[in-house]
Amino acid sequence: MKNKTEKSIFIATDYIKLDSLLKFAGFADSGGGAKVLVQNGDVSVNGEICLMRGKKIHSGDTVETSGVRINVLKESEK
């Protein structure tokens, strides 16, 4: 089994919405692109497929898409 690539994203706020995270992390060029990824079931949050593009993602959450695990951390945890 192939290991997943991991990427850490640091946020300064209490949360970031899923579609904004996908854009910020470079997986979508626009909100529309993020919407398609989410609606197609290509994104999981904390191990479960998420179909809500506005879902609030907090520090400690993990998001997976395109074989990459995104670890979301507070800016203060750098």
* Fold for the domain defined by 5-77: 3.10.290
Residue with tokens 């191990």: 47
Query: Concatenated DSSP letters for the chain?
Result: -PPPEEEEEEESSSEEEHHHHHHHTTS-SSHHHHHHHHHTT-EEETTEE---TT-EEETT-EEEETTEEEEEEEGGG-
Average pLDDT over residues 45-55: 97
For the chain, the domains span 5-77
Do the bridges between strand 68-74 and strand 5-11 make them parallel or antiparallel, or are there none, so unpaired? parallel
Q: What is the pLDDT of residues 56-68, one digit of tens each?
A: 999 999 999 999 9
**pLDDT at 42 > cutoff 80:** yes
**pLDDT at 54 > cutoff 80:** yes
Q: What is the pLDDT of residues 3-33, one digit of tens each?
A: 679 999 999 999 999 999 999 999 999 999 9
Average pLDDT over residues 38-53: 97
**pLDDT at 2 > cutoff 60:** no
